[in-house]
Amino acid sequence: MTREINHFINGTHVTGTSGRSGDVFNPNTGEVQAKVALATADEVRSAIAAAEKAFPDWRATNPQRRARVMFEFKHLVEKNMDQLAEMLSNEHGKVIADSKGDIQRGLEVIEFACGIPHLMKGEYTEGAGPGIDVYSMRQPLGVVAGITPFNFPAMIPMWMFGVAIACGNTFVCKPSEKDPSVPMRLAELFMEAGGPAGVLNVVNGDKEAVDTILTDPTIQAVSFVGSSAIAEYIYATGTAHGKRVQAMGGAKNHAIILPDADLDRVVDDLIGSAYGSAGERCMALPVAVPVGKEIGDELVTRLKPRVESLVVGVSTDPDANYGPLVTKEHMAKVKGFVDQGVAEGADLVVDGRDFSLQGYENGNFMGGCLFDNVTADMESYKEEIFGPVLQLVRADNYEDAVALPSKHQYGNGVAIYTQDGDAAREFASNVNVGMVGVNVPIPVPLAYHTFGGWKRSAYGGVNQHGPEGVRFYTKIKTVTSRWPTGVRSGSDFVIPTMK
């Protein structure tokens, strides 16, 4: 019997009533393993209403007690790590070790959120004027929402609701319908940790659910991660309805490789960052830019056997480098980009399109692909492939290399490989990209910093987690107070100044 996945509203599982559902596949076998209910607008509104009802008491809960709930939630997620990782791998296709990494990176934001008593502190100025004190306070917004992608079904929900809830908001999460089980389980664990009913709700759905979130007047802020086209829509629609919006879009991250780079490290890092998780990461490194013919030739020579020897296996295989892609439709899209690259004249050095895993011929498996001599005018270079494909775009000099990521439509992450500190410093300062790695392949900032790209990789101007996450999910109230001193000077019709 096919398992049913419904909604988690006001602390309990709620059966969907729309009559509509989506298939949740096992990417290893291609078989339908569950049906996920797709919410009606009224069902989404019921989750919003539950969050609205829970908000006054949760807001009034002091920050230290909210932090204690987050501490216990962290403990429970760690305790259930194996179960969560298996659940994640069975729906997404990541190998178990990668799924545990997904969960751990989310937990690091939960750890950050445990410091919310300090992070919520305002400012105070005594004696700002005669008998006047000025102070500010951070207050939660109210009901907020997150719309999360398939590629990180644990990490990104925790990035969003961890900070939002710790700040005193209540939350409605709309996860990807491709792999919805982990967010549902996280909501259960939050309740087990002592979170009150209605503080964290999960509704599964499609565009109807998304549009309800974007237009409902109770929702004060929306966080989104997904493709750039949808991010642009989320930002435009949400802000048009008076909401704060942070919408993270696509990426095309480049690795600039200077002639003095340690090529052994470069090859190791490219293999892991381009092909890990089957390339389904917004911080993957799908483009390598060797500077100069000699280093470009050497890089291809070293990469080719490594790509050919990649171990592709089921998500539970501990020896597999990566597992299947999330769905057949997505696999077909990735292969279509490879077809396009060939048609555009790029050299396909390693072709993984025909890979088949014995015993799992119906799974969504694809071998690694390696392109050389890709050029900036090719459509397959301009777009995000989001699969196990690495493209080499050769550059004659440093200036041409830096121009590639700087001019690209996406500006999420970039890396430079060099042993020259001056070059690295100049690059980090001037490249037109939001997150930079120096001899680091996946420059995802730690939880107490902040995550976000530039250009079509992000809309809204406010990054995720870290101090910017606290600012996004709170509003500042400033109080100017004066207590009677027995001295009065009558009415003043001039604006107050410090003179």
Say if residue 67 is in the same domain as residue 184.
yes
Say if residue 471 is in the same domain as residue 431.
no
Say if residue 307 is in the same domain as residue 332.
yes
Say if residue 156 is in the same domain as residue 273.
no
Query: What range does the domain containing 307 cover?
Result: 254-438
Say if residue 85 is in the same domain as residue 8.
yes
> What is the distance between the alpha carbons of residues 474 and 230, in angstroms, rounded to a whole number?
25
Say if residue 96 is in the same domain as residue 16.
yes
CATH of the domain at 471: 3.40.605.10
Q: Which residue, among 234, 236, 263, has the nearest Cα to 249 in the 3D structure?
A: 234
Say if residue 368 is in the same domain as residue 387.
yes
Q: What per-residue confidence (pLDDT) applies to 488? A: 63
- The residue out of 410, 438, 466 marking a domain boundary is 438
Say if residue 144 is in the same domain as residue 28.
yes
Planar angle of CA 371, 357, 333, nearest 5 degrees: 45
Phi, psi angles (nearest 5°) of residue 212: -65, -45
Q: Which residue, among 416, 418, 325, has the nearest Cα to 369 in the 3D structure?
A: 325
> Looking at 114, 167, 173, 282, which residue is catalytic?
282
Per the annotation, the verdict on 369 as an active-site residue is no
Q: Is the residue at 350 inside a domain?
A: yes
Say if residue 238 is in the same domain as residue 136.
yes
Say if residue 245 is in the same domain as residue 258.
no
Q: What per-residue confidence (pLDDT) applies to 483? A: 87
Q: What per-residue confidence (pLDDT) applies to 486? A: 65
> What is the distance between the alpha carbons of residues 64 and 339, in angstroms, rounded to a whole number?
55
Q: Is the residue at 447 inside a domain?
A: no
Phi, psi angles (nearest 5°) of residue 417: -115, 120
Beta strands in 313-434 (DSSP E): 347-350, 369-372, 389-392, 410-411, 413-417
Q: Is the residue at 233 inside a domain?
A: yes
Q: What per-residue confidence (pLDDT) applies to 498? A: 64
- Please state, as a whole number, how many other Cβ atoms lie within 10 Å of the Cβ of residue 56: 11
Q: Is the dihedral of CA 417, 419, 422, 423 positive or negative?
A: negative
β-sheet bridge partners, residue 26: 31
Q: What per-residue confidence (pLDDT) applies to 495? A: 77
> What is the distance between the alpha carbons of residues 340 and 381, in angstroms, rounded to a whole number?
10
Say if residue 343 is in the same domain as residue 462.
no
Q: What is the chain's percent helix, strand, coil content, to nearest 5?
A: 40, 20, 40
Tell me the per-residue pLDDT of 271-287, one tens digit each, with 9 for 90 and over: 999 999 999 999 999 99
Q: Is the residue at 445 inside a domain?
A: no
CATH of the domain at 396: 3.40.309.10
Q: Is the residue at 485 inside a domain?
A: no
Q: Please identify every stretch of the chain with a pLDDT value under 70, giving residue numbers as ranges.
A: 486-490, 498-499
Instruction: Report the number of distinct structural domains present in the chain.
Output: 2
Q: What per-residue confidence (pLDDT) applies to 492? A: 72
pTM for this model (two decimals): 0.94
Length of the chain: 499
